[in-house]
Chain A
Amino acid sequence: MNIKKSIFIFLLMPLALPSTAQAMHISEGILPTQWALLWYAVAIPFVAWGLRDLRIKSAREPFFKPMVGLIGAAVFVISCMPIPVPMAGSCSHPCGTGMASILIGPAMTVLVSSIALLLQALFLSHGGLTTLGGNIVSMGIVGSLAGWSIFRLTRRLGLPAWGSAFLAGMLSDWATYAATSLELASALHGTGSMPKLLTAIGISFLPTQLPLGIFEGIVTAGVYCFIAARRPSLLECLGVERKRCACELCECEPKTGGVQ
């Protein structure tokens, strides 16, 4: 029966695609008070970690603040970019955290995504204030740590950069969804069994999420390749590719101005 129900949900979901695609972030009001508080408690130390990282770096080099702000805005804009989902002609959008964590590292990505999530909650009714903690955990923390560690690991294993970027984008997207499903199931199962609900939620995300994750991977790889082709020095400078850095940012930025 459970499986049959799941199959039914599977069939039902494409009809509700726009809303499930929007469900990437947990919507306002879904999490009960104690869960909302718990996820806030988990998220805050990570955001503080990002803030500390940024504060230390920007005290050494003021350029970091505008740079993190701008990369944050870029990733936010990319995450708002509609991507055509092949099924049902609907649109969804990538998370962008995989990309961001490749570029600026997981700590700052958590910081940036906490801001992006607040902006989305305020202006796009996407996610929410009460669920902000939960969303920071799934998108910011899980997504960026997954993306960053997969990129680093696969690069070390000798995968070409585009392959690593693809995997990082795809898996961070899926990890985000897995975390979101887990958060939803644990908060909502009520008197029913949690694994059952988790399966249901997980399955209902599948038809949109599998292709979306692949899309996210392709876009991440595309962005990476574009930057690597146009401005390889930038990747070295941001510490993405570990080579001796000789790009214009590092050459000019800290030293420009003669008057320091």
Chain B
Amino acid sequence: MSLLSELFSDLFARQDNALARIDPRTKLIVALSILAAVIYSPTPVFPLAIVIACVAVTVAIGLPCRLIALRLIAPMGIAGVLLVLQSMFSGSTPLWKFPAFGFDLTFTREGWHTGCLMAARVVGGVSVMLLLSSVTPAHRVFLALRSLGISKTWVEIAMLMYRYTFVLLDLTADVTEAQRVRLGYSNLRRGISSAGVVGGVVVLRAIDQAVRTNEAMRVRGYKGEIPLGLLPPLAWRDAWIITGSAFVLSGILISLEVLFR
């Protein structure tokens, strides 16, 4: 659970570096365009280049390698499964054949290619998000979403949810610990019923917290609207970054299109 808090916490996004200083709207727009390019790319080369670039930058700004590995391991597993599934279930030209459990398994050429492409897209997309969240605190992402036109109510609830997730994570850790030291997880049946109790405690505590938070909000003038902060106006630099990256990305995409299709 503490691991989850650690993953979830935007502690590292609050370090000062060149990327952290860029306006969150700019970062969000650029990240979205890179994502689009990753999905659109006809070849695995581009997504893989993005993976290398993003991971390198993330390491350079000081995110612990352990956290990076944690965040990439599951998507890589998915990428692997995708590769196997695609190679076996689509295409027709046999690439490899090998016997297993008394029958032949065929990997096809076309399947292998699409599989590689998809796997590269998965890892590429995930590493873009990894970099974005390593240089942008959560609330600034929300404010950026707000100024890019996402509903204010949505952003308000998102901020509340993000804030109180930490409080409830602490609570869950405490309750689970208390159960564990009293053998609440010593076998499967007990484990399940203990898990149900944790869930119940968390929901009840959340509602109590909501009542008290509502009171605390009311004495500070809350009447149904949570005011949000404003991001500073975009500077010329941001316009340059956005147009620059748009140019570079479309240049790369066009040349990939020409080279690989």
Q: Which residues of A line the B interface, CB within 8 A?
A: 1, 4-5, 7-9, 11-12, 16, 18-20, 22-23, 27-33, 36, 47-48, 51, 54-55, 58-59, 62-63, 65-78, 80-81, 83-84, 86, 99, 103, 111-112, 114-116, 118-119, 121-126, 128-130, 188-192, 196-197, 200-201, 204, 215, 218-227, 230-231, 234, 249, 253, 256-257
Contacting A81 at CB < 8 Å: which of B100, B125, B195? B195
CA distance A128 to B75 in the complex (A): 10
Count of interface residues, chain B, beta-carbon cutoff 8 Å: 98
Whole-angstrom distance from the CB of B117 to the nearest CB of chain A? 10
Contact status A123-B133, CB under 8 Å: yes
Contact status A66-B217, CB under 8 Å: yes
Q: A8-B101, A62-B222, A71-B206 are in contact. Are A77 and B81 (CB under 8 A)?
A: no
5 residue pairs from A and B, CB less than 8 Å apart: A5-B105, A65-B226, A73-B162, A81-B198, A188-B82
Chain B residue, CB-CB nearest to A252: B211
Whole-angstrom distance from the CB of A72 to the nearest CB of chain B? 5
Chain A residue, CB-CB nearest to B166: A73
Q: In the complex, what residues of A have CB within 8 A of residue B15's CB?
A: none
Chain B residue, CB-CB nearest to A228: B200
Q: In the complex, what residues of A have CB within 8 A of residue B35's CB?
A: 28-29, 129-130
CA distance A83 to B185 in the complex (A): 11
Q: In the complex, what residues of B have CB within 8 A of residue A29's CB?
A: 35, 38-39, 47, 118, 121-126
Q: In the complex, what residues of A have CB within 8 A of residue B125's CB?
A: 27-29, 128-130
Q: Which residues of B line the A interface, CB within 8 A?
A: 4, 7-8, 10, 31-32, 35-36, 38-40, 47, 71-82, 84-86, 88-91, 100-101, 103, 105, 110-111, 114, 118, 121-126, 128-130, 132-133, 138, 141, 151, 153-154, 156-165, 167-169, 172, 188, 191-193, 195-207, 209-211, 213-215, 217-218, 222-224, 226
Chain A residue, CB-CB nearest to B123: A29
Whole-angstrom distance from the CB of A48 to the nearest CB of chain B? 8
Contacting B74 at CB < 8 Å: which of A18, A58, A76? A18
A22-B78, A124-B8, A226-B199 given; 15 more Cβ-contact pairs under 8 Å: A1-B103, A16-B81, A18-B74, A36-B39, A58-B153, A62-B224, A70-B210, A115-B161, A119-B162, A129-B31, A130-B35, A188-B85, A190-B91, A191-B90, A223-B196
Whole-angstrom distance from the CB of A44 to the nearest CB of chain B? 10
CA distance A149 to B90 in the complex (A): 37
Contact status B122-A27, CB under 8 Å: yes
Q: In the complex, what residues of B have CB within 8 A of residue A125's CB?
A: 71-72, 74-75, 126, 129-130
CA distance A67 to B78 in the complex (A): 35
Contact status A188-B195, CB under 8 Å: no
Contact status B226-A128, CB under 8 Å: no
Q: A63-B214, A122-B132, A226-B204 are in contact. Are A68 and B80 (CB under 8 A)?
A: no
Which of A84, A119, A200 neighbours the largest number of chain B CB atoms within 10 Å of its CB?
A119
Q: A125-B75, A191-B91, A222-B200 are in contact. Are A67 and B210 (CB under 8 A)?
A: yes
Q: In the complex, what residues of A have CB within 8 A of residue B222's CB?
A: 62
Q: A116-B161, A188-B86 are in contact. Are A124 and B7 (CB under 8 A)?
A: yes
Contact status A19-B80, CB under 8 Å: yes
Q: In the complex, what residues of B have CB within 8 A of residue A67's CB?
A: 207, 210, 214
Q: In the complex, what residues of B have CB within 8 A of residue A9's CB?
A: 85, 88
Q: In the complex, what residues of A have CB within 8 A of residue B7's CB?
A: 123-124
Whole-angstrom distance from the CB of A215 to the nearest CB of chain B? 7
Whole-angstrom distance from the CB of B218 to the nearest CB of chain A? 7
Which of A9, A11, A48 neighbours the largest number of chain B CB atoms within 10 Å of its CB?
A9
CA distance A115 to B164 in the complex (A): 13
Contacting B129 at CB < 8 Å: which of A28, A66, A73, A83? A28
